[in-house]
Amino acid sequence: MALQLIRPDINIDFVGKRFFFVALSTAINLAAILLLIFVGLNYGVDFAGGSVVQVKFDQPTSAARIRQALAPLDLGEVTVQEFGATNLNQYLARFEKVRNIGSLGKRLEGALDQSYGPSNKAQVLRVETVGAKVGRDLRVDGFLAVAFATVFMGIYIALQFRGVSWSFGAGAVIALIHDVLVVTGALVLSRLEFDLTTLAAVLTVIGYSVHDTIIVSDRIREDAAKRRREPLESIMNRAINETLSRTILTSGTALTVLLSLLLLGGPILRPAAFTLFIGIITGTYSSIYIAGPVVLFWEGGRGARSAPARAA
Amino acid sequence: MALELRTGRGLYRLASAAAPETADEAVVLTLSLERADGIERVVFRCRVERELLDRDACANPESLIARVAPWVEREFEATREAALKLIRSERRLYEVVFDAAHRGPF
């Protein structure tokens, strides 16, 4: 007997449960938006701009004490925060604009040693500097890259599936916005650093998610051409069930690889692997529970359109 | 003592950032990799198993750093990126290990 992970005659009522899952997704997206506004992403220096200095002390201290110790250097506005677990005694000092940046690490160590003395030695572990304008430009360009990718994917899908309904494009765009919000919300909660590699992972999530959406939409288009008198809701449910095996196997194999990267890949790959892991899960979910319901809401649950479906 | 490394990102200086740690099985150096203009610096550790060292090398950390410097220059991008990522995300120093299986410059 052949191995069958999913029965060929499976018939889960995905579309019937769409109201619950749309409500759930709306709540998650609102939470993600609130997290982005009130907590914010942990921008790496690429996006934040300015200078970042990570300092380790032998003994506990406070951000205010560190600012006081650095004041004589007259380095401009400085933000100091504890970095990591309390017992690590590590702090992050951010300088928006450093006047005379040469040997910043040595100068900071000298000022801290002078202020704290030998009882609490400071060691500068990291100094990174990105021009403020470069950081700002990268933030804007990164957002535009995600926005343009989403919009043009939507336009392409709308054109390709116009024979069944123009709303496929809207469904795809809303699904992609949902995926980006879920992923960025997860990044806010995890406090993983959002840098250029993570941005590349977000763009990959968009590509993966729309690929899954196209697979389901294409099956809907095929079934709509064969069953013109059947309601779109029924056609959509059948199409999702027919592609379920392929969807789960494709996502499952990708997730297996990503889980390995997440657990064993080390700190360099972790933010990107985490982004892709969450993104593939939500991309698969949105292809079923977001893109389809958007089309149904648009079409008002009518029967399949009478215009013949065009091949891609 | 700071050794200059010519890298694709410009001139960097490799120097000792803390006193070396000597144990029965290995010598551990804490090194800083700092760009010449000061806009970037990262500290990492370099652990060398004793079996790779002769007695003179163990007693002279500066000669160890001089021996490691060309290797760091060759493996600069990977070392720099690993050190920065680890310190940013896990708040601990990246450690390069040289042992019998991975002799590096030894």
> Helices A270-289 and A291-299: crossing angle, nearest 10°?
30
Is the distance from CB of B78 to CB of B65 less than 8 angstroms?
A: no
pLDDT of residue A308: 41
In a domain, A33, yes or no: yes
Q: What is the pLDDT of residue A303?
A: 47
pLDDT value of residue A180 = 94
Structural domain includes residue B106: no
Residue of B nearest to A197 (CA): B85
Residues A173 and A291 in one domain: yes
H or E element at residue B27: strand B26-35
Nearest to B38 among A101, A192, A271 (CB): A101
In the prediction, which pLDDT does A101 show? 66
Q: Do residues A239 and A255 share a domain?
A: yes
Task: Return residues 33-72 of B near A (CB < 8 Å).
Answer: 34, 37-43
In a domain? residue B40 = yes
Per the CB < 8 A criterion, the answer to whether B45 and B93 are in contact is yes
What region does A259 belong to: left with phi over 0, alpha with psi -120 to 50, or beta? Answer: alpha
Determine, yes or no, domain membership for B77: yes
SS3 A181: helix
pLDDT class for B71, splitting at 50, 70, 90?
A: very high
Judge if A178 and A282 occupy the same domain: yes
Q: Is residue B103 part of a domain?
A: no
Q: What are phi and psi of A311, to 5 degrees?
A: -70, 155
Both structure tokens of A155: 């336009």
Domain stops at, among A115, A130, A145: A130
Are A203 and A84 members of one domain? no
Domain count, chain B: 1
**Are residues A252 and A148 located together in one domain of the fold?**
yes
Q: Domains in chain A: how many in total?
A: 2
Are A101 and A195 part of one and the same domain? Answer: no
Q: How far is CA B56 from the centre of its chain?
A: 19
Chain A nearest-CA distance from B72, in A, is: 17
8 Å CB contact of A128 and B84? yes
> Looking at the partner chain, which of B32, B39, B85 has a beta carbon nearest the beta carbon of A267?
B85
Q: Are residues A228 and A146 in the same domain?
A: yes
pLDDT in tens, B16-26: 998 899 888 89
> Which CATH number covers residue A267?
1.20.1640.10
Asked if residue A151 and residue A270 are part of one domain, the reply reads yes
Phi, psi (rounded to 5 degrees) for A269: -90, -15
Say what the pLDDT of residue B41 is.
Answer: 92
CA distance A146 to chain B (A): 24
CB atoms within 10 A of CB A107: 18
Is the ipTM higher than 0.90? The answer is no
Interface size, chain A vs chain B, as Cβ–Cβ contacts under 8 Å: 68
pLDDT at A306: 40
Rounded to the nearest 10 degrees, the angle between the axes of helix A291-299 and helix A232-242 is 170
Which residues of chain A, if any, have pLDDT below 70? Answer: 1-5, 97-102, 132, 267, 301-312
Owning domain of residue A80? 50-130
Q: Whole domain around residue B37: which residue ranges?
A: 2-98
pLDDT of amino acid A311: 40
Q: Does B99 touch chain A (CB under 8 A)?
A: no
**Residue B43 to residue A126, Cβ atoms within 8 A:** yes
A193: which 2 tokens? 């650093």
Picking from A51, A125, A270, the nearest residue to B87 by CB comes out as A125
Q: What is the pLDDT of residues B43-63, one digit of tens each?
A: 999 999 988 887 665 667 888
What is the chain B residue with the closest CA to A104? B38
For residues A208 and A251, the answer to whether their CB atoms sit within 8 Å is no
Distance between first and last Cα of chain B: 21
Whether A124 and B41 lie within 8 Å, measured CB to CB:
yes
- In angstroms, the separation between the Cα of residue B60 and the nearest Cα of chain A is 23
C-alpha dihedral, A211 to A217 to A218 to A221, nearest 10°: -170
- What gap in Å lies between CA A235 and CA A202, rounded to an integer? 31
User: Would residue A58 count as lying in a domain?
Assistant: yes
Half-sphere exposure of A306 (CA within 13 A, CB side): 0
Under an 8 A CB cutoff, do A126 and B41 touch? yes
Task: Note whether A92 and A224 are same-domain residues.
Answer: no
Report the Cα A168 to chain-centroid distance in Å: 23
Do A120 and A157 share a structural domain?
A: no
Residue A261 within any structural domain of the chain: yes
Domain membership of residue A4 (yes or no) is: no
Task: Return d(Cα A122, Cα A107) in angstroms, integer.
Answer: 12
Comparing C-alpha atoms, which of A106, A282, A181 is closest to residue B32? A106
* The pLDDT value given to residue A292: 84
* Whether A124 and B90 lie within 8 Å, measured CB to CB: no
Token readout for A57 is 């002390």
A interface with B, Cβ–Cβ below 8 Å: 44, 51, 54, 83-85, 88, 90, 101-106, 123-129, 192-193, 266-268, 270-271
Here the CATH number for the domain that contains residue A124 is 3.30.70.3400
The reply to whether A246 falls in a domain is yes
Give CA B19 to chain center in angstroms.
13
- In this complex, do B39 and A123 lie within 8 Å of one another by their Cβ atoms? no
Report pTM.
0.69
User: Which residues of chain B make contact with A126, given a CB cutoff of 8 A?
Assistant: 41-43, 84, 87-88
Q: Is residue B61 situated within a structural domain?
A: yes
Nearest CA among A164, A184, A293, A167 for reference residue A227: A164
- What pLDDT is stored for residue A305 in this prediction? 47
A277 plus A164 within the same structural domain: yes
| Six token digits for residue A273 | 């692997």
